[in-house]
Structures are given as C-alpha cells and as structure tokens.
A and B are shown apart, each in its own frame.
Chain A
Amino acid sequence: MDLYEYQGKELLRSYGLETLPGVVAGTPEEAARAAETLGGTVAVKAQVLIGGRGKAGGIAVVHNATEAREAAERILGMDIRGHTVRRVYVEGGAEIEKEYYLSITVDRAAKRPLILFSTEGGVDIEEVAETKPEAIVRTHVDPLLGLLPYQVREIVFSAGLTGDAAKGVGRTLNSLYKAFEGLDASLVEINPLVLTKDGHVLTLDSKVTVDDSSLYRHTDIADLHDVEAADPQEQRAQEVGLQYVKLDGNVGILGNGAGLVMSTLDVVAQAGGKPANFCDVGGGADAEKISTALDIVTSNEQVESVLFNIFGGITRGDEVARGLLSAIERTGIELPIVVRLDGTNAEEGRRILAENTPDNVHTEETMLDAARRAVELARGTRDSDGGR
C-alpha cells in the first residue's frame, strides 16, 4: 500500500525524522490559509500516488497566500499520469545547502533490507546508479540484529560526510530503519534528504510503501487507504477479496490462479488483442464468487468480450462448468463469453457447457484458440454496434 507524502511524513515524524512544517489542503482557500499560517516561501505540492509530479507541473514554490491560492487552483484537479490531484500539501521552505538520497528497500535476492545512500540527491537514483555508481553507498542489514552503529558510521564516513551532516544523516538513518521495521514497510525513500544552511538534516520529500500482507497488524495504516482515489472496480474487487487489476483494453479476462491469468493476458496480446483487466477468481467453483467476478469485469464499459480461462485442478472441470453456467445465468451477461476449460475432468466440463450454454457462450479447448476467439469477438462487437 502506497501512502501519500503527507501521510508518510506524519508516520516518519513519529519515528523521530525531522520534516518541515506542513498542512494538507483540499481547496485553494485552504491552501491560501496554510501559506498564511506557515509564512514566507512555501511549496504547494500535488498529493498523488505516483512519481513524476514535479515534471508534470504538480509542484509550485510560492511567496504569499495569493500565489498559494493560484497555485492550488491550478494543481487541484490536475491529471498526473492518470491520477487526479484532490489534495495539495503546503509545506514551509528551507535554505538548502546540500541534497542527499536515502532509502531502505527489501532486497529480494539477498532476502535482507538494503540501505542506499548517496550524496547525489534530488535526482533520479536509477540515473545516478548508471552514470555515477560510485556515488551510491549500499549496505545490507541483518534483520535479526537490526542496523548496527558501526554500519551507520560506515555509511556516513564512506560517503565523505563530516560535522553536522554526518551527525544528522546518522540520526536520520537510525530513525528511518526503525520506521522501516516498525511500519512493516517494503520501501521508505527520502529524496531529497537535505542539509540546511543552519546545519539541520531534514526529510524534504519521502515515499512510504507498506507491505499489504502486514496490514492486519497496522489497522491505523490500513484505514488510510484512499477509497475515492481507487478505481471503482478495483475497490469493489478488493472488498470481496478478488484479485483484480484494471487495464485499458477490451477483452475482459478471468481465470484461476495468478500465473495462469497473467499468462492469459499475454496470450491475448499475442493474438492481437488488448486485455481489459487481470482477474484471479482463485480455486474452487463457487458460483457466487464467479458471478461477482464476472460482474466486476463486465462493469468496465470498455469490455467487448470475455475470456474465461480455467484449469481444473483439485476442483474438477464438471464442477467448474456448473458454477460458471449458474454465474452466467445469474448475471445475465449478453456479451460474448469464451470459455476454455482444461485439466481434471475437463471433457465432462466441456460437455456440460456444450449442452447448456446460451448463444453468447463459446467453448474452446486450448488457451491459444480461446484467446484468438475472444479477440475476434471483441472486434465483432465493436463493428456491429458502431464502436461504442
């Protein structure tokens, strides 16, 4: 779960990280009042759960309340890479001496937390990694021991820091590791971490991602989930425990098992089609669950055909076929549906489908044939009703 900048900063502050004072605003008036209260030069920053807001014009540095109002008027409602800005964060200014980069991530290959620190802050770290890899200090932490004091010294001194910078970055590192652990984060990133002219080390921009699997023990964080910002179909899927990701094509896809569904999306693309979504209905042949999934997939208006790819494992093909028929009947879907059923008792399942299917349901034996058929049918729908 990704957090907004203002939410992440509030959590980081509770672990002792220093930030600038800031206020969240949902309207230009609130932004103006915030600028007034904070005083002096402030930044008006778009709050979106995606990177690249600076380049998209989502950050403005302003000098008074009037300018803050104007900036908020412009930024609120902006679309940044498909995300609508509904709040801005108005944050006080600072005199910056130096910008650093600091992050802690989960290194999947090493199976340990990885700290990255660089004195080249404020820019894209992947770019630094390519052009100036020697400017990045990398340190793995033993998760059972935690971050040790000597490791902090190694990071700080090998980056060439001294004085206030060394002390401030060292303190930040300790606090950030505690936050990473305490929040069950999969990423905490500060870019830039700044050294101010008066010797403070401050978190200027930060990104916090909390591991979804840990949310059961962080209900306060789970409550921060922004229902309004979520895609309505994704939100509904999440509420009923379905794995659903919306995409921008016209072939709706359902299947059982994450890997099989991912593979189905790929095969549809190879057949010249565009998948409209990812949807994993999980194991079993529960007609109610399949109905809900079908309903979610087809409530996306772009969907023009549906491909249902099922591999009968422990749940036998005949049970799946019955569950599916009942779900189709319940939802009353008229769009063309292509069903591909394979695995245990697949023949029996296909026979049941063939004997009972309504006209809009087509069965295919292989994944490839099913994908081709679904792609053709999606084109057909569009042609016949004038490309709605």
Chain B
Amino acid sequence: MAILVDSGTRLLVQGITGREGAFHTGRMLESGTNVVAGVTPGKGGQNHDGIPVFDTVAGAVAETGANASVIFVPPPFAADAVFESLDSGMGTICCITEGIPVHDMMRVADFIGTKEATLIGPNCPGVLSPGKSNVSIMPRDIFTPGNVGVVSRSGTLTYQIVNELTQRGIGQSTAVGIGGDPIIGTNFIEILGKFEEDPETECVVMIGEIGGNAEQLAAAYVQNEMKTPVVAYIAGFTAPEGKTMGHAGAIVSGGESTAEAKSEALRGAGIRAATNPSEVAELVAEALGR
C-alpha cells in the first residue's frame, strides 16, 4: 500500500516535450512509473521516449486510459493545464510548476470542489512511493521502501530528512510534497488522513514552514483524529516579518504565521516537534520503538 500513486497509476505528462518535462519523464520511466501518454499542444502524433504525445488531455485519456497527470507547464498556462486535466476526469494531478498567480489558483481550487480529484501542488516536487511509483522530481536514490509517510511544504528539506531516515535504515511508504505556494490543492490534513488510513504507514513526518496556519489546523487534526504517531519539523524561526523566503507562501505576516506559533501549536497538541532535521530521524526512530 501507498497513498495517491501506486502500481495502478497510469500517468500522463503535461508539457512532456519541454526541458523539465522531458528530463523528469525519463527519470520517472527509470523508476518504473507507468507513463502512458504525454501532452504538448501542437505536437500530437509525435513520440517521446516511446511515449505517444497528444495535443489535448481529453485525446490522451481517450486513447490511453490515463488516470493521473503531472504538470510541467510554464506558469502563465499552468492553471489552464490543471482545468484541462480536471475536466478530463483525472483522479490525481501533481502540478510541479512554480510561480502560478494566486488568483489563478483560487479559481482552480474553487473548481476542484466540483470534481472527484486530488490536486497536489503547485510549486511542489510531487509524490513518490518508493519501489511502486514515482510521479515527482524527487531524487529516488535517497528513498527506500518502508513504513514512514512524509508530507512537506518544501522539496529539499524533504530530501534532507528522507536521506537521514534512509541512512538510519528507516524506509518510507510515500513522500508527498504539497507545495510552497499560498494556495495549494491539498493541505496537510487531507494527506495526514490518507496516511492514517494506509495500513502500511506506521509513522508520519510533517514538514512545515512559516506562512499561513496550515500547521495549526494540522495539529488539531492530529490530536483529534489520528492514532498514527506524527513527528513534525518547522523551518523559518529566523525569518523576518514581511519577507518572502524563497517559497511564495513562506512569509511571516501576523502572529499565526510564525515558526514559533506553529511549533507551539504542534507541541500543545502533543506532537513530537524536532528543532533540526537530524532530530526528526531520531524522533521517528523513537516513535517506531527502534
């Protein structure tokens, strides 16, 4: 078991002929992901790494039965790509693109409410279930199959922590990068819920950062709804107010959005909160009784 993507995933790559799309399609294929189609408007009928390319998502779905998509489309066109995917009945959509306007994302988020679909991202590294499926730009070499679920707003911080887990011999069920933008398709709570239901996941690592209050909402959820132990880490204690720290969503703007407030909420909910990435792996080992 894993969450969101597994061996039944039939993946479509939107923007497959672009630089990033092409590069990561190759890597996903190497990981054994079942990539069934690509879409680049105007390049329908071509072949990319043996994958058929279509002009439209609807055309690709009709021919190949794709049920998940990953988006590498530039920011001005990315929201449209998500709409297109949603309208073609995709179940899981990972939007890797960074820099989509917030207003575009509010409209996308609104529309998702009318569909049975899960959007991961944007501005995220995607989803990887080690040994099962890779719908991501994550470096798969650092992963190893196991029982720890990882959910994070940051890419490299996820890699850092996954690497420390792997080095300690602790494997991962699925790693989900939910994205660093202010408006994202799926927040901590929905992913935590999926991990809670996943029989294979025995512990969850949640990696948050400054900006918004998603960590506080997650803390309440963990306290009230979860039996699976959760280890958390928050980045950005030294971030000054009003400055965007790399991710569009990582900005301190009021009391709730600080790292202190988030850590306090997590500890208040009885969640193990680490003070640095290495400590995360220690706390996970402790939670798993190793």
Interface residues, chain A, with chain B CB atoms under 8 Å away? 50, 106, 108-109, 111-113, 126, 142-144, 181, 184, 186, 211-214, 216-217, 243, 245, 247, 255-263, 265-270, 275, 278, 280, 311-314, 342-344, 366-368
3 interchain residue pairs of minimum CB distance: A259-B154, A257-B156, A258-B246
CB distance from A121 to the nearest CB of B (A): 19
Chain A residues within an 8 Å CB radius of B157? 257, 259-260, 262-263
Given the known inter-chain contacts A260-B160, A314-B139, A343-B142, please indicate yes or no for A214 contacting B101, CB distance below 8 A.
yes
Q: Which of B35-43, B84-92, B104-112 contacts A (4 or more CB under 8 A)?
A: B104-112
Interface pair A108/B159, CB less than 8 Å apart: no
A259 to B208, CA, bound (A): 9
Given the known inter-chain contacts A257-B156, A270-B276, please indicate yes or no for A108 contacting B214, CB distance below 8 A.
yes
Closest residue of chain B to A2 (Cβ to Cβ) is: B242
Chain A residues within an 8 Å CB radius of B142? 313, 343-344
Instruction: Annotate B127-149 by CB proximity to A: 1 below 8 A, 0 otherwise.
Output: 00000000001110110000000
A258 to B154, CA, bound (A): 7
A186 to B187, CA, bound (A): 20
Given the known inter-chain contacts A106-B102, A213-B99, A313-B139, please indicate yes or no for A259 contacting B243, CB distance below 8 A.
no
Chain B residues within an 8 Å CB radius of A212? 244, 248
A142 to B259, CA, bound (A): 30
Q: Which residues of chain B from 220 to 270 have any CB-CB distance to chain A below 8 Å in the complex? A: 233, 235-240, 242-250, 254-255, 259
Interface pair B163/A343, CB less than 8 Å apart: yes
Interface pair B76/A216, CB less than 8 Å apart: yes
CB distance from B31 to the nearest CB of A (A): 12
Closest residue of chain A to B152 (Cβ to Cβ) is: A259
Interface size class of B (residues with CB under 8 A): 35 or more
A342 to B139, CA, bound (A): 13
Interface pair B107/A144, CB less than 8 Å apart: yes
A160 to B235, CA, bound (A): 44
Q: How many A-B residue pairs have CB under 8 A?
A: 174
Interface pair A142/B238, CB less than 8 Å apart: no
A343 to B107, CA, bound (A): 38
Select which of A109, A214, A259, A268 is within 8 A of B235 by beta carbon. Answer: A259
Given the known inter-chain contacts A143-B103, A261-B246, please indicate yes or no for A367 contacting B278, CB distance below 8 A.
yes
Interface pair B101/A184, CB less than 8 Å apart: yes
Chain B residues within an 8 Å CB radius of A113? 106
Select which of A112, A143, A278 is within 8 A of B245 by beta carbon. Answer: A278
A161 to B102, CA, bound (A): 32
Q: Does B277 contact A (CB under 8 A)?
A: yes
A259 to B152, CA, bound (A): 10
A322 to B103, CA, bound (A): 41
A108 to B155, CA, bound (A): 20
Interface pair B155/A257, CB less than 8 Å apart: yes
Interface pair B238/A269, CB less than 8 Å apart: yes
CB distance from B18 to the nearest CB of A (A): 16
Chain B residues within an 8 Å CB radius of A367? 160, 276-278
Interface pair A256/B160, CB less than 8 Å apart: no
Closest residue of chain A to B158 (Cβ to Cβ) is: A259
Closest residue of chain A to B177 (Cβ to Cβ) is: A259
Chain A residues within an 8 Å CB radius of B233? 263
A280 to B163, CA, bound (A): 20
Chain B residues within an 8 Å CB radius of A111? 105-106, 109-110, 183
Interface pair A106/B182, CB less than 8 Å apart: yes
Chain B residues within an 8 Å CB radius of A243? 245-246
Interface pair A270/B278, CB less than 8 Å apart: no
Closest residue of chain A to B250 (Cβ to Cβ) is: A258
Select which of A256, A269, A311, A366 is within 8 A of B237 by beta carbon. Answer: A269
Q: Does B171 contact A (CB under 8 A)?
A: no
Interface pair B277/A263, CB less than 8 Å apart: yes
Given the known inter-chain contacts A245-B240, A367-B278, please indicate yes or no for A314 contacting B27, CB distance below 8 A.
yes
Q: Does B288 contact A (CB under 8 A)?
A: no
Chain A residues within an 8 Å CB radius of B211? 108
Select which of A186, A258, A262, A313 is within 8 A of B182 by beta carbon. Answer: A186
